Amino acid sequence: MASIELLIKNVRVVRPGDADGTPPPVDIAVNDGTIVRVGPGLPEDDAATVVDGRGLLAFPGVVDAHQHWGIYNDLSTDTRTESRASVQGGVTTALTYMRTGQYYLNKGGSYKDFFPEVLSLSEGRAYTDYAFHLAPMSAQHIGEIPYLVEEHGVTSFKIFMFYGSYGLHGRSTSQSDFLMIPENERYDLAHFEFVMRGVQNAREILTDYADHLSLSLHCETAEIMTAYTKLVEQEGQLTGLRAYSASRPPHSEGLAVTIASYLAHETGLPNINLLHLSGQKALSAAMTMAGAFPHVNFRREVTIGHLLADVDTAHGLGGKVNPPLREREDVEALWKHVLDGNVDWVVSDHACCRDEMKFGADRDDIFLAKSGFGGAEYLLPGLVGEGLKRGLSPQAIARISSANPAKRYGLLRKGDIAEGHDADIALVDPNASWTVRAEDSESTQEYTPFEGFSMTAKVTDTFVRGNRVLADGKVVGDPVGRYQPRGR
């Protein structure tokens, strides 16, 4: 009987802690989903399954720290189809946002009732490992934070700063109806403060989890967006993605970052994640706040969409997203921050929105379209292809695609290709040339804002705990993903 279950031969293992450069070929031995040895010339005769890595780069499986399963489609369906799309992009662990209110399960109430249903609907359907961030929408939810940490291993929480008086897609809406919160409560700056105090309280009473308990913020300012949306529509000079960007201007993000950072300082909450910063003003504000409040342990996130596409190059109104795609100068500014080490991780913000849901009666009216699109299938290919061209090292890519989010979010066996870690591995051909076509994606989304984009790197094989879920570019086998309780 073979003593090694899986042997991946002849791969160049990219480790986040190694010095920059192209690593030499080695082999990876896997037993029971765990890496047991990494080294050159491991014997094949004692392995049950041998995979020839063909000298490709072996990255730690991507920890995509920002997805939205079930926001527009049924959660059980999304879990299956969008995790299949994810493994095409080298993703082996998906962290997906979930909340009560309209969209998702379209329910309010207690997370003690709501979250077990989320777990049930997703169980046994994912091709990636997965976990959930939760958003405390009400005072009741704040009180449930310690329960969620201890009972379900949820260690990350979220605030949507613009929900206070603004709709999901660009229209004001009834807050209590949209968020399904008690009529005597408000989702506003005071609530945001109390969420921070709630997370900090959990850190103080659950000390075993404290390092991995964090709060993430979608930083946009509702009042600024409301006023600018009115201006853009009244002037009528801008259309499409440029109109939407102007209606949610970059300084709206910068202002929200500043407010959130001061609230973190005021409440003593040190672990703050600033999500999907879209351009120079947002990153500049984030860096300024890091200098102003050095005792706050900020993390800064950017999406692959904002790194690859702008208001001119994205394919159609399918590129509507919150915060919006920006100008080309903002794309270049984001890349400079990535290269300077100011961005902690890159994510997809994958939110599958099918054509019938995405577009309004007038398909050319940006303000009638829904916000969000899929993109996990392009995460590692886009980051490797564009990053290497710009001088980003493979090791830096491993850090911002896997190691950094794994560490922050308490995924202690993820983020590296090393003995004792889960065998989450993505093989990448850094010299492949191909063109993005929506029809080639496993997602149920029929379009992509990246349609026609030229890619110069491709994920050929993806392994989730040693299970080969992508083989030669094709999704294979049955769902093997498991829910990942986090923190201890």
Catalytic positions are 349
> What interhelical angle do 222-235 and 240-247 show, nearest 10?
140
**Measured distance CA(40)–CA(477) in Å, rounded:** 29
Contact predicate 86/94, CB 8 Å: yes
**CA distance linking residue 151 with residue 147, whole number of Å:** 6
Q: If you write DSSP's letter for every residue of 75-129 in order, what string do you get?
A: HHHHHHHHHHHHHHTTEEEEEEEE-SBTTTT-B-S-HHHHHHHHHHHHTT--SSE
247-250: which pairs have CB atoms within 8 A and are 24 or more residues apart? Answer: 247/170, 247/324, 247/367, 248/170, 248/220, 248/322, 248/323, 248/324, 249/224, 249/225, 250/278, 250/279, 250/280, 250/281, 250/282, 250/326, 250/330
Q: How far apart are CA 408 and CA 273, in angstroms?
A: 9
Distances (CA, A) of 310 to 290, 330, 445: 27, 8, 20
Contacts of 291 (CB under 8 A, 6+ apart): none
- What gap in Å lies between CA 427 and CA 300, rounded to an integer? 26
Cα gap 217→198, rounded to integer Å: 15
Instruction: Give CA–CA dist 418/414, Å, rounded.
Output: 10
Tokens of 245: 């960007």
CA distances (Å), origin 235, targets 231, 242, 243, 248, 453: 6, 13, 10, 15, 32
* Cα–Cα distance measured from residue 10 to residue 461, given in angstroms and rounded to the nearest whole number: 14
Distance CA 422, CA 33 (A): 6
Whether residue 199 contacts residue 257, with contact meaning beta carbons closer than 8 Å, is answered with no
- Residue 251, SS3? helix
| Backbone torsion region of residue 242, taken as left when φ is above 0, otherwise alpha when ψ lies between -120 and 50, otherwise beta | alpha
What CA–CA distance (Å, rounded) separates 156 from 145?
A: 10
Can you tell me the distance from the alpha carbon of 197 to that of 203, in angstroms, rounded to the nearest whole number? 10
